Amino acid sequence: MIIGVGIDIVDIERMERALARRPRLVGRLFTGREIAYCTGRSCPAASFAARFAAKEAVRKACSRALTGVVMEWREIEVSLESGRPEIRLAGQTAALAAGAGIAGLEVSLSHSRDHACAVVVAVCDAKSGQ
């Protein structure tokens, strides 16, 4: 059963300017694996923007189940290890999500020349029935 849906869109040029203006922002928002992936792309800003949109969408999709909880940026990771984007939660964020019955997060990413967007669907486990 679906617990929540989140969507977010990020202006790629704005992300590029923010990262150039505040270089430490990359390390505060993204995991080492995300940074390695994005910096290896032809347009790193587009990849960073898509990942940031996904993180925002995760927060929105989980907001009903995790009312009042602030999910840490680096505890939400976008991975492409299976060939398609996947969301991986870590640390306190993973524990809180599991405790709330969130069994999975399905994600779709896209970007154009100007914008990156993400949609996330939070799915509960069959036992919690939330």
CATH of the domain at 101: 3.90.470.20
Q: What does the alpha-carbon distance between residue 97 and residue 83 come to, in Å, rounded to a whole number? A: 24
**The predicted structure's pLDDT at residue 68:** 80
Give a yes or no: residue 14 inside a domain. yes
Note if the pTM is more than 0.85: yes
- The set of residues, in sequence order, having a beta carbon less than 8 Å from that of 75 and lying 6+ positions away, is 89, 90, 91, 92, 93, 94
**The predicted structure's pLDDT at residue 69:** 80
Give a yes or no: residue 130 inside a domain. no
Whether 81 contacts 65, CB under 8 Å: no
Give a yes or no: residue 98 inside a domain. yes
Residues of the chain with pLDDT under 50: none
**The predicted structure's pLDDT at residue 127:** 63
Q: How many domains does the chain have?
A: 1
Domain membership of residue 47 as a residue range: 2-124
